[in-house]
Amino acid sequence: MHIIAGLGNPGTRYHMTRHNVGFDTIDFLAAQYRMTNFKSRHKALIAEGMIQGRKVMLVKPQTYMNNSGESLAGILSWYKADPAQLIVIYDDIDLDPGKLRIRQKGGPGTHNGMRSIISHLGTEDFPRVRIGIGKPNTEMDLADFVLSRFTPEERNLVNEAIERAALAVATMICASVEVAMGKYNG
């Protein structure tokens, strides 16, 4: 079983913010594959189902972004899953709005949610899908920026990226991370 986790912050205050594109992607996957029956377990909202004939779990950690690792470490431990079975989807300020970057493994960069996951799992060896949200202008605080909403033009680009991210996840599950990288990075 693949565990597909989208990072974000719970609550309506954070709905549709830049930092919540991981949650938005999980919601898109849930609607696309009819996995809308989320249950609260392991400090997360979890739905199980099938993508392209493969069993998956969709996860939205409810621990707030900076503590995402608590939830995901608990889930991997409970299901005796290897970190390689985990796919994490999250926002990236180093990519322009709407750009995707898929990687087999790697460090957290400046992302506190990824820092938490790597710390709790004790490894960087799990695939991830990064969705570009752009950088703040020099006057804006980074925390304020990631918790802000997109302009309409940026939102359109990000919505397209979310759809491509969903296709990339299906490719990662059915083919490989390498195939998804070749097809969707850029």
pLDDT tens per residue, range 43-69: 999 999 999 999 999 999 999 999 999
pLDDT tens per residue, range 82-104: 999 999 999 999 999 999 999 99
Containing 178, the helix (H) or strand (E) segment is: helix 177-184
Counting the structural domains of the chain, the total is: 1
In this prediction, residue 21 carries a pLDDT of 97
The pTM score is 0.95
Question: What whole-number distance in Å separates Cα of residue 79 and Cα of residue 60?
Answer: 16
The 3-state DSSP composition of the chain as helix, strand, coil percent (nearest 5) reads 45, 25, 35
Give the range of the structural domain holding residue 149, as residue numbers without chain letter.
Answer: 2-184
Structure token pair of residue 151: 């302009």
Question: Which residues are 2's β-sheet partners?
Answer: 56
CATH number of the domain that residue 64 is part of: 3.40.50.1470
Query: What residues are annotated to the active site?
Result: 19
Of 115, 117, 106, 111, the C-alpha closest to 143 is 111
pLDDT tens per residue, range 161-179: 999 999 999 999 999 999 9
Residue 76 has pLDDT above 90, yes or no: yes
Residue 88 · residue 117 · CB < 8 Å: yes
Structure token pair of residue 63: 């621990």
Residue 38 · residue 175 · CB < 8 Å: no
CA quadruple 7, 9, 10, 13: dihedral sign: negative
Residue 121 · residue 114 · CB < 8 Å: no
